Amino acid sequence: MNNGVTDKCWHGCAMNGTLIHLLWHCPETQTFWLKIRDYLCKLFEINFLLDPAVGLLGKQREQPQKNFNIHTLSQIMSLLKENQTDEDVS
């Protein structure tokens, strides 16, 4: 194994850097997702819960609120995730 590689989160929280932690559960990443949720709630005038199945996997909810197109939300979150940099999370 490479001695220079660590299994700690690269966002600096010192927890184990599992994929789900890095993309969803890390406090730094949660701050990012909360900002995204707040922005989308204001933009589309809806309320929705943060859910890793929707945000990371694009899974559909059974009954979208206000006939909101969940595909649109999934695509927006995917684009934001693809374009995220470390400065965005800070």
Residue 52 has which token pair?
């890793």
Cβ atoms within 10 A of the Cβ of 15, count?
A: 15
Residue 73 has which token pair?
């939300």
CB 26 within 8 A of CB 15: yes
User: Coil, strand or helix: which one is 17?
Assistant: coil
So where are the chain's domains?
A: 27-89
Q: How confident is the model at residue 68 (pLDDT cuts 50, 70, 90)?
A: low
The 8 Å CB, 24+ separation contacts for 79-83 are 80/36, 81/23, 81/55, 81/56
More confident residue, 68 or 30: 30
Q: What pLDDT digit, counting tens, does each position of 21-63 carry?
A: 888 889 988 888 888 888 888 888 877 777 877 766 767 666 5
The CA distance from 58 to 38, in Å, is 18
